[in-house]
Chain A
Amino acid sequence: MMEMPAANPIIFDKGKCIGCNRCMEICQVDIFLPNPEKGKPPIVAYPGECWYCGCCVMECPVEGAIELRHPLMNRVHWVEKKLLLEQANK
């Protein structure tokens, strides 16, 4: 059993990750633990402590194996400027 975290900052693609633990070793906050099963992605043991710096993703040797995702409340909005202007002229 595990309490539901307030956010899931790190998403691994299990098919791509080679379990090298480089993401784990670079994280200054140390939110990961090594997976007891060799070759599998690290465990996100302390998701709430993530600083969202992206260093784990920058360090990963496999494109797409690890993704960093801002909490939903922090996802920012953008819009096409053309649409704003069209609405204003309506």
Chain B
Amino acid sequence: MYDYKWPYPLEYDKEEIINADVLVLGGGIAGCMAAIAAARAGQKVVLVEKGATKRSGAGGSGCDHWESAATNPCSKVTPEELTQAMLHDNEGFNNGISHYIECREGYDRLLDIEKMGGKIRDTEDEFVGAEFRDDETKLMFAYDYENRFTLRIWGTTFKPAMYKELKRLGVNIVNRVMVTSLLTEGGAQGARCVGATGIHTRTGKFYIFNAKASIICMSRPSRVWLFSAELPGLCEFRPPQCVGDGHAMGWRAGAEFTMMEKSVRAEFSAAGRSYPPYGAGNNHNTWYAASIIDSRGKEIPYADRDGNILTDVKDRFRPARGQKFFMKGGSIDYPKYEIEGPETLPFSKMIEQGYKLPFYADLTALPEEERRVIWGMMVGQEGKTNVPIYKNYTKEGFDPSKHVLQCYGTGWTSASFLPQERQLFGLPGGFFNDWTLSTNIQGLYVAGDALYASNCYGHAATTGYYAGRHAAKYAIVNDLIQWDTQQVEKEKARVYAPLKNEPHNSIGWKELNMAIAKTMQNYCGEVKYDDLLKIGLARLKEYEEKIIPQTFAYNPHELVRLLEVSNILTVSQIIMEASLARKISVDALCFKRGDAIEDDSSKDKLIVIRQQENEVIKREVPVDFFGDLKENYEKYNQDYIRGDRS
């Protein structure tokens, strides 16, 4: 504990009330784009962000590739083809609605962001003539150079551009406020959403936001199984203040969730078990298609999906014979044959053949423009790479034409986690949505990584904008309803309770987070059993009833951290409940049961759960409940297609 005085005024007893037509909760990629859309539709918009909107969120520092922009002028695939491939790749356990929106509107949003000041083309002509560049439009592509639906972009410029646009549009940006709960009509669970509450992260002041429509844009949970008390900022992949607050408050308000039983063995963090993302030797994502060599300089061959060795570097960017297109990027971990792209031969095979460890990523022998686009553009524009990787490594003498970068562990993640160390990664569960990106709660919309089976920057930007549009429509035809005073008073009592406890015998946020993570590893690890899940759930309940009342925080900053851990506790309960509800193993959900039942009628159903008066209500929905993609999209978006809105 440091020993200086808290420098900000303490305002625990103060209250501020802010009204809006559309209230946006979270100022990351989805939140900014949602606020922009709603403001353009003429609505009075308030955006609440826990950090600093200009750079907040997973994509705040940058982003190097924008996936699935199927309507860009060079694309050879349609939005329908791409979405179908994503659905098929996950055996249907994917969000058809949100990914169709991503494919259909992605390029519109890129043009939009370009107008705001973001850089989406090689305007400086740095890569003229490169195979990945279209010299007419100056757009640059990644991965599949023939089909051209994923763009390389200068993502460090995007968030500041959005921030400028928000200000231009007169959006009321409320930074440094943590949203703590949703307000519902009459304070009833499941009733219409009429706003939210929050507390200031520096002063502790209480906020009441009253709105006609609200949009959840607070991303997805983290720190459920993984925690490091020494380096909490590095124990997960996403920013440490993004822990699933939105999920927790949504659950308390009665919102529906699906696929929350899905978790994967952790792949990515930056604490003990892994190395800095994009900063160690690998050939995925940002680093595709770097060569990989062994410690004697011998190259690991790339092969296509049929095992044919690719001798020309150019073949790493082409579909295999008879293949329409291949997919790479953030959401594709273990692709199905249909979309499987070129890959280096498997690690185990290389060891058998006598290749010597460690391996290294080698850009030295790549064509010059491939080297330059990986080191200098992708590494440089990708999140968390500009300063800590590109600038720092360069300063320390790394030269991509001479040096090779060491790989750690056995795969592209440069990490080695245990099976029970799990993460909501890839396409995890989240809020259940309809074709307007509304939740089951009236007036409550959701966008970005908070949606079930969601991932990626372009997806967040497009669903954000889409939810902003639809929330605006709702706000136009509905009145502002006053919040329930009792509900607000109860929330106030909850958030400030820890301040009353004594520091010397209380429990702090780190101790509680550590306990939750251990409980989840033990009772809800790789293989699930009803018996264990039930005891685990009872442990979590104990924490809620007996430990939360003993917690303590020194100042508003630590109070926020503590409230986050309360939310992690709620999220852990959702995950346990969802796991209990799923009685059989489902590969597509990375869900393994040690005590599976015989009846497998739920194998292609989404299990949708919500809370109602402390009961968990479940229903099953076919994975393709959203119907025909194109037809439904067009049914709900005629005004957008016509270009009605400004």
Q: Write the residues of chain A forming the contact surface with B, with a CB cutoff of 8 angstroms.
A: 1-3, 5-7, 25-31, 33-34, 36, 43, 45-46, 48-55, 57-59, 68-71, 73-74, 76-82, 84-85, 87-88
Contact = CB atoms under 8 A, between A and B. Distances in A.
Given A1-B3, A48-B230, A51-B240, A79 B403 contact: yes
Interface string B350-364: 000000000010101
Given A26-B52, A26-B54, A71-B231, A55 B296 contact: no
Contact of A78 (B3, B297, B403, B408): B403
A51 B239 contact: yes
Chain B interface helix/strand/loop/mixed: loop
Contacts of B293: 81, 84
A58 B298 CA distance: 38
B60 A81 contact: no
A77 B414 CA distance: 13
Contact of B557 (A30, A43, A48, A87): A30
Contacts of B4: 33, 36, 43
Interface residues of B, number: 60
B9 interface: no
Interface stretch (B30-38, B99-107, B271-279, B595-603): B271-279
A68 B392 contact: yes
B360 A30 contact: no
Interface string B91-121: 0000000000000000000000000000000
Contacts of B364: 81
Contact of B384 (A45, A49, A53): A53
Given A51-B233, A68-B392, A30 B176 contact: yes
A3 B3 CA distance: 10
Contact of B51 (A29, A33, A34, A80): A29
A79 B362 CA distance: 10
Nearest to B28: A28
Contacts of B2: 2, 43, 45
B30 to A, nearest CB: 15
B404 A78 contact: yes
B55 interface: yes
Contacts of B279: 70, 74, 76
Contacts of B384: 51-54
Given A48-B232, A74-B234, 9 more contacts: A26-B52, A28-B50, A28-B51, A51-B239, A54-B391, A58-B55, A78-B406, A84-B404, A87-B296
Interface in B33-51: 50-51
> Which residue, B386, B388, B391, has most C-beta atoms of chain A within 10 A?
B388
Given A26-B52, A29-B233, A81 B386 contact: no
19 contacts: A1-B3, A28-B52, A30-B51, A33-B4, A33-B7, A48-B233, A52-B234, A53-B61, A54-B61, A54-B384, A57-B387, A58-B55, A70-B276, A76-B279, A76-B408, A79-B403, A80-B403, A81-B293, A88-B297
Given A78-B404, A81-B364, A84-B404, A28 B57 contact: yes
A16 to B, nearest CB: 16
A49 B1 contact: no
Interface string B188-230: 0000000000000110000000000000000000000000011
Interface string B490-503: 00000000000000
Contact of B7 (A26, A27, A34, A88): A34
